Structure 1
């Protein structure tokens, strides 16, 4: 997967109907490239501090087992609303995510937007802008 390190986030679109998130970015290297990140089969996402000029430090796939400990408060607040899905226990949620082959994609930030996406697939496309 191409690196998004130091890419500026230009925009992102959440398509709830089609379970997709498209994030448009631009590299800040000598030869700038537009890089689109397409998350598909999205179950849920959580983005914090979306600011103009947000810069990505990295996009990493973490083990599903890390989702619950790092997001317990957020999961607890959404559980009564069926978010990210209906479940009775954290074990049940974790098993479902693993069995249905979800990826826990974590966006870390140098500045601005950070967060995560639970999706079945992630693709990055690259286009030279020069």
Structure 2
């Protein structure tokens, strides 16, 4: 059976440059750095709200996996592939301002709307190629 009282804790991302990745999430989504445990490798903990944290982990130099997934069906860094790919999704209250701000930073995006026409979405990548989605709040 499912764990009673289970709640979300964090998402982990491995990176060769956790400071670059932390700066991106702080700048784009307003995460704050919080105290991180002392481990045998570098880590940065980021918190956006009491219930959502990112755990950025220094990449093991011996790993053979690619840095980021790009998408579920294409190894090319194209945001058009993300609607069916692996990604984190955030909601924002002012979707159009958010999209304008990330475009002004030179971030390549793909925009679409849900079939109901109410929810707008923008897809893009973090500096390591991890898929991101931001949707309008409805």
Above 0.5 in TM-score? no
Band the TM-score falls in, shorter-chain normalisation: under 0.3
TM-score of the superposed pair, with normalisation by structure 1 = 0.28
Q: Which has the higher contact order (CA 8 A, sep 6+)?
A: 1
Larger Rg: 2
Which structure has the highest strand share of the two? 1
TM-score of the superposed pair, with normalisation by structure 2 = 0.27
